[in-house]
Amino acid sequence: MATSFGKWLLFLSSYFPLFVLLCVDNWRSLGKNLAFTAIMGVLLLLASMSTVVLITWKTNKRLELEPNAVPTNCSMDIIEYFITYLIPLLSMDINRLESVIVNCLIFLLIGLVYVRSNRVYLGPLLLIAGYTLYQIDNKTLISRKNEERIRSEIQVNGFVRANAIAPNVFMVK
């Protein structure tokens, strides 16, 4: 999934809660504003599909790590992502074309930055789904396992089972 398309799907999935909040905030316009309804429908569909793929993806590759490596919880990095949520949520007026265009451009700009910097794993959806972010040996691990269990697997096996979702970003099941 480390392709550009896969990274964009991950980026969209991280915005799934925002798309839902925008629909709730503009629920009266959903039936009246067909363009907004269609766009939100497509975005919600893509975001939910990519979320399902990410979470159900079968893990079958070995990620070799130093036996003494210690994972560090870095889930607090997601806090920086909330700023990107506030901009469209607080400023979007779907009845003004200019507002929609500006918010779409901001969304694309944020997407370019996150996809090109391989930070597609940042977003509240993974935390909501029970995943934790760990930093280890210049790699980011996303897992439901706790820090002690990951450390134990590394010490015993010298690896964890994981799939790359971006360069140096791995989903551990």
pLDDT at 1 over 60: no
pTM over 0.85: no
Give tens-digit pLDDT for 69-93: 888 888 777 777 767 666 666 677 7
What are the extents of the domains in the chain?
A: 4-172
When pLDDT is averaged across residues 24-48 and rounded to a whole number, the result is: 78
Determine the pLDDT at residue 116. 87
Tell me which range, 57-61, 86-90, 105-109, is most confidently predicted by mean pLDDT.
105-109
Tell me which range, 28-32, 46-50, 89-93, 115-119, is most confidently predicted by mean pLDDT.
115-119
pLDDT at 67 over 60: yes
Determine the pLDDT at residue 158. 86
Rounded to whole angstroms, what are the CA distances from 13 to 6, 19, 35, 69?
11, 10, 21, 30
Lowest mean pLDDT among 10-19, 53-62, 133-142, 147-156: 53-62
Determine the pLDDT at residue 145. 92
Check residue 31 and give left, alpha or beta (phi > 0: left; psi -120 to 50: alpha): alpha
Whole-number average pLDDT of the chain? 80
